[in-house]
Amino acid sequence: MVNAYIGLGSNLDNPIEHIHQAVEDLKILPKSRVMLASKLYLSKPVGPQDQDDFINSVVMLETTLEPLALLDHLQAIEQSHQRVRERHWGPRTLDLDLLLFGDLSIQNARLTVPHAEINNRDFVIGPLYELCPELALPNGTKIQDLLQHCPIDGLVCLDS
């Protein structure tokens, strides 16, 4: 079993419902089990600002799926939520990013793990820290150290 961390984001068509449904979708992945899910956070969009704010969360899965097989399942879930890729960093019904996959570093045409922007995303670092404050990236960088370089004070926690 490997712990995989999945970032969830949505800013279209009732984004809170898309995130809640995506967590349910992740619960029925083969050879996988949702272990933890962060609270929901409201964040400003990255890139074009002419779109609604995002709802974000992070889920920790235990899985025996291979990384690319997991990616295929994540993309299928996105498609089931009518994900359309009209512009880079544009609005979306659902975005599922494979953030971390155990202690693996992966770089190929389809997948980069850890996620290439993990160090710069408050909406990823905040929920990761909530789930696992002692978590470290494959290079040894601790999530708690990333908080110092990428403050999460722009996030609004929606769960009490």
SS3 state at 18: helix
For Cα atoms 56, 62, 66, give the angle at the middle one, nearest 5 degrees: 100
CA distances from 64 to 6, 55, 76, 135 (A): 15, 28, 18, 20
Residues classed as catalytic = 83, 92, 95, 97
Burial environment of residue 112 by CB neighbours within 10 A (0 to 12, 13 to 18, 19 or more): middle
Give one DSSP letter per residue of 91-129, joined into a string: --S-EEEEEEETT--EESSS-EES-TTGGG-HHHHHHHH
Per the DSSP assignment, residues forming a β-bridge with 58 are 7
